[in-house]
Structure 1
Amino acid sequence: MNTEWKPNNWIAVLFGVLFQPFVFLYVNRPRYFFYYLALTLGCIFLTQYPISAALFSEGGKAQYWPYAITIACAIHAYILSSNYDVSQKRSWCARWWTTLLCVIAVYSSVFLTKTFFYDVYSIPAASMSPALNPGDYVVVSKHGYGNYSYAGIPVWQSKSTQTVQRGDIIVFRKPENETTDFIKRVIAGPGDKIYYQHKRLYLTRACDGCSEYELIDNVEIDNAAKSEFSMYQETLDGQLYTIQQNTSKPEFIQHYYRQQGMRLGEWLVPAGHYFVMGDNRDNSLDSRYWGFVPEQNIVGKAVYIF
Structure 2
Amino acid sequence: MKKPLIIALAVVVFLLAVWLIGSVTHTLEFYTISTTSNQPAYRPGDVVIASNLVKPARNKFIVFKTKDKREWIFRCIGMPGDIIEIKQTALYVNNQLQDEPFAANEYFIHNTDLKKIAGLVAKNKDVVKPMAGDSLSVITLTRPEVKAYQVKLALCSLSPGSINPNLFLDFRRWMYNEDNLGQIVVPKNAYFVLGDDRHNAYDSRFSGYVNAEDVISTVIN
Q: Smaller-chain TM-score range? A: 0.5 to 0.7
Q: Greater helix percent: which structure?
A: 1
Structure 1: gaps spanning 5 or more residues: 1-27, 42-102, 145-161, 205-212, 234-245
Amino acid at match of 1:289: F
Hey, what does 1:272 align to over in structure 2? 189
* Correspondence for 2:52 among 118, 132, 142: 142
Rg bigger for which structure?
1
Residue by residue over 1:208-256, the C-alpha shift from the partner in whole angstroms, topping out at 9 and shown as x without a partner, is xxxxx332235799985535122125xxxxxxxxxxxx96755485132
Contact 1:230–1:247, Cα closer than 8 Å, also in 2? no
Hey, what does 1:296 align to over in structure 2? 213
1:53-68 correspondence to structure 2 within 5 Å: none
Task: Give the direction of change, closer, same or farther, for the CA distance of 1:273–1:283 in structure 2 (3 Å limit).
Answer: same
CA distance in 1 between partners of 2:104 and 2:71 (Å): 31
CA distance in 1 between partners of 2:191 and 2:174 (Å): 17
Normalising by the residue count of structure 1, what TM-score does the alignment of the two structures yield?
0.48
* Correspondence for 2:68 among 171, 174, 177: 177
1:43-122 correspondence to structure 2 within 5 Å: 107-116=16-25, 117-122=27-32
Shift, 1:182, TM fit: 0.7
Contact 2:41–2:196, Cα closer than 8 Å, also in 1? yes
- RMSD over equivalenced CA pairs, Å: 3.5
Amino acid at match of 2:24: T
1:214 counterpart = 2:123:
no
Task: Report how many aligned residue pairs link the two structures.
Answer: 173
1:259 counterpart = 2:163:
no
1:202 counterpart = 2:125:
no
Structure showing greater relative contact order (alpha-carbon pairs closer than 8 Å, 6 or more residues apart) = 2
Shift, 1:29, TM fit: 4.0
Contact 1:273–1:294, Cα closer than 8 Å, also in 2? yes
1:276-287 correspondence to structure 2 within 5 Å: 276-287=193-204
1:227-246 correspondence to structure 2 within 5 Å: 227=128, 228-232=139-143
Identical-pair percentage: 24
Task: Give the direction of change, closer, same or farther, for the CA distance of 1:250–1:276 in structure 2 (3 Å limit).
Answer: same
CA distance in 1 between partners of 2:100 and 2:19 (Å): 42
Shift, 1:33, TM fit: 5.3
Structure 2: gaps spanning 5 or more residues: 115-127, 129-138, 145-152
